[in-house]
Amino acid sequence: MDALFITFEGVEGAGKTTLARWLSERLRQEGIPNWLTYEPWEPRLREVLLEHGDLRREEELLLFLADRAIHTRHIRMALAEGKTVICDRYADSTLVYQGYARGLDVEWVRQMNGFATGGLQPVRTYLLDLPVQVGLQRQRERNRIGAEEIAFHEQVRVGFLAEAQREPQRYLVLDAMRPLADLQNLIWADISALRSSGVSVHPQNEARVGASSGKSAD
């Protein structure tokens, strides 16, 4: 069977990391080689973002894009080795956070994303959707959440849903308020259908998967 390139996206607290880890383990149990990864790829990027809280929007974007360019090279290698790649956040997060929520031109960010990834897109993006306040409360527990933070994350949610509407063939929107077992069943049924179809990555990028050479993604 061909390897799949799968991504999980969603607002804070939607449960995408939990489901990405579950899918990786389920594939392993089925004997399907896979690589679970995440963004930002480079841990030092997190340190830079924390140390330099005064970064401009454009500077922040360029840091994420440089990180993604390196990460995408490893994704390509894993796919070429026949591994299904499961990525917790990918290019859509940058498009939504830096574009829709931080106010950079969305189409410009889209073009920059394309440059950083060489156009590589997942065959499926699972968008875990739920009300922003519910997600933030899951993350912050009893801590008070300010109106400004809620407004920002509302724009994130709007952006994700707009992108899902723009690319319905790639996105599968899941109600993250549903029980975990229901979400797992929906995802596994979809994964099984994708594997049966023989599709591996987004059709426009299939020829590019094996274009990279170098160290394995392990």
The pLDDT tens digits for 15-48 are 999 999 999 999 999 999 999 999 988 878 777 7
Secondary structure of residue 53 in the 3-state scheme: coil
CB 183 within 8 Å of CB 10: no
Note the pLDDT of residue 149.
Answer: 84
Phi-psi region of 10 (alpha: psi -120 to 50; beta: other; left: phi over 0): left
Amino acid residing at 113: N
**Tens of pLDDT, residues 136-147:** 888 776 455 667
The percent of residues in the chain predicted with pLDDT above 70, rounded, is 87
> In the 8-state DSSP scheme, what is residue 120?
-
Secondary structure of residue 156 in the 3-state scheme: helix
| Domains of the chain, each with CATH number or no CATH | 5-210 (3.40.50.300)
Note the pLDDT of residue 187.
Answer: 98
